[in-house]
């Protein structure tokens, strides 16, 4: 699963730590998601989308191999 978390953070000018605090996870979890090493739960994906004011589908997308 691909995501645009890093891009969205840059647009909003927030750090991994800031995002982690807003959604209740560790900075390492945000880093793992950005590196496509961790696929978030539905609840976590919804929280991330809410922070950025976007739909989940605008941040996360399936790859052909998914």
d(CA 30, CA 66): 20
pLDDT at position 31: 98
Q: What is the pLDDT of residues 21-47, one digit of tens each?
A: 999 999 999 999 999 999 999 999 999
What CATH number does the domain containing 29 carry? 1.10.260.40
Q: Do the beta carbons of residue 33 and residue 25 sit within 8 Å?
A: no
CA 59 to chain CA centroid, Å, is: 7
d(CA 48, CA 38): 14
66 lies in some domain: no
What pTM value is reported for the model? 0.91
Structural domain boundaries enclosing 54: 2-61
26 lies in some domain: yes
């Amino acid at each position: 699963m691909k995501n645009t978390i890093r891009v969205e953070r840059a647009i909003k000018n927030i750090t991994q730590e800031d995002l982690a605090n807003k959604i209740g996870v560790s900075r390492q979890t945000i880093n793992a998601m950005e590196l496509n090493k961790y696929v978030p739960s539905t609840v976590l994906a919804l929280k991330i989308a809410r922070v950025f004011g976007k739909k989940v589908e605008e941040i996360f997308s399936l790859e052909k191999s998914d």
